[in-house]
Structures are given as C-alpha cells and as structure tokens.
Amino acid sequence: MNRALDSTTHSARADMFQREASWRPGPDALEREGGEPADAPWWARILRFYLRLIVPWAVRRIEKGGSARFPYASIVQLRLCFDPTRFDDSRHRCDVRLANG
C-alpha cells in the first residue's frame, strides 16, 4: 500500500449547517468521516426554510453525514475547479458525481 496515500486527508465544511468532514482516499473507495448537521442559530434555520420555499433549486440539502465509503467504481464524473471568492482567493473545489446520484 502507498504510504503517501494513507496520510492524505482533506477536511472541509460545506456551510454553517454542516460540521467539518474529513475525506481520505482508501485502497478501493473514497472515505468520509464526520460532516453531521451542525447546530445553527434559530434565525439561520428559519431563513433557510423560507429560501427553500422560494428557490428550492438554489438551496442544497443538509446531508446526514457520518462515516461513509464511496467506491471508485461508482464514480461517473469528477470535476476539479478553481472557485475563488472575495474572502478566499485561492479556493479550489472538487465535485464528485456517483452513479446512484
């Protein structure tokens, strides 16, 4: 097994409604730890509810998180992009699409 691959992990937080998740490439699958729903302020949850009513396609679902494995064989699309923001001008993103959605 590749030792460099074992030590490679990436931690990220999708938004204020999710806790930080750690991603690690395994021998046969991409593995996730964490990412459970976070305790957001009451006003943010109400605002998110109304935004989902008005523009449901623009507001992402809150994932249940937890430990998960995503087999490499089920990955149908991998998109790497440079996605800077006003506050983080060196942000990169990786979107993974699985065969089952």
Spans of all domains in the chain: 3-73
Closest CA to 48 of 75, 56, 13, 94: 56
How much is the mean pLDDT over the chain? 81
Query: Does the pLDDT of residue 48 top 90, yes or no?
Result: no
Residue 74 pLDDT: 92
CA separation, residue 69 to residues 32, 39, 45, 98 (Å): 6, 25, 29, 12
Query: Does the pLDDT of residue 81 top 60, yes or no?
Result: yes
Averaged pLDDT for residues 46-64: 78
Averaged pLDDT for residues 11-18: 79
Sorting pLDDT into bands at 50, 70 and 90, what band is 86?
Answer: confident
